[in-house]
Amino acid sequence: MTTHQLTEAQKKQWEEDGYLVIPSFFDKQETKEMLDEAKRLCDEFDVDGHPMTTFKTAADGEHVGDEYFLESGDKIRYFLEPTSLSPATPDTPSRLLVPPSQSINKIGHALAILNPVFRKHTLESDKIRSVAKSLGAQESPRVLQSMIICKQPRIGGVVPCHNDSTFLYTDPPSAIGAWVALEECTPENGCLSFLPGSHKLSRTATRFVRAPGGGTTFIDVPGVEPNEEKWDDMDGWREAPCSPGTLVLIHGSVMHRSPPNPSDKTRIIYTFHMIEGGKGVKYDEKNWLQPTEAMPFPVLF
Ligand X SMILES: O=C(O)CCC(=O)C(=O)O
Nearer to ligand X, 150 or 221 (CB): 150
Nearer to ligand X, 144 or 212 (CB): 144
Are the beta carbons of 63 and 57 closer than 8 angstroms? yes
- Sign of the CA dihedral 208, 209, 213, 219? negative
For residue 221, state whether it binds ligand X (rule: CB under 6 A): no
For residue 103, state whether it binds ligand X (rule: CB under 6 A): no
> What is the amino acid identity at position 56?
K
Binning the chain into helix, strand and coil, the percentages to the nearest 5 are: 20, 25, 50
- The DSSP call for residue 83 is G
Query: Which one among 242, 248, 269, 274 touches ligand X, defined by CB under 6 A?
Result: 269
CA angle 18, 21, 23 (to 5 degrees): 170
Beta strands in 23-133 (DSSP E): 76-80, 104-109
Nearer to ligand X, 106 or 133 (CB): 106
The residue at minimum Cβ distance from ligand X is 258
Per-residue burial over 241-266, b = 16 or more CB atoms within 10 Å of its CB, e = otherwise: bbebbbbbbbbbbbbbbbbbbebebb
Nearer to ligand X, 156 or 277 (CB): 156
The contact pattern for ligand X, residues 116-155, with x = CB under 6 A and - = no contact, is ---------------------------------x-x----
Per CB under 6 A, contacts with ligand X among 247-266 are 256, 258
Min. distance of Cβ 257 from ligand X in angstroms? 7
Nearer to ligand X, 94 or 241 (CB): 241
- By CB under 6 A, the count of residues binding ligand X is 11
Which of 287, 53, 60, 80 has its CA nearest to residue 160? 60
The contact pattern for ligand X, residues 161-180, with x = CB under 6 A and - = no contact, is ---x------------x-x-
Beta strands in 151-213 (DSSP E): 159-162, 170-171, 176-181, 192-194, 206-210
* Residues binding ligand X (CB under 6 A): 149, 151, 159, 164, 177, 179, 192, 256, 258, 269, 271
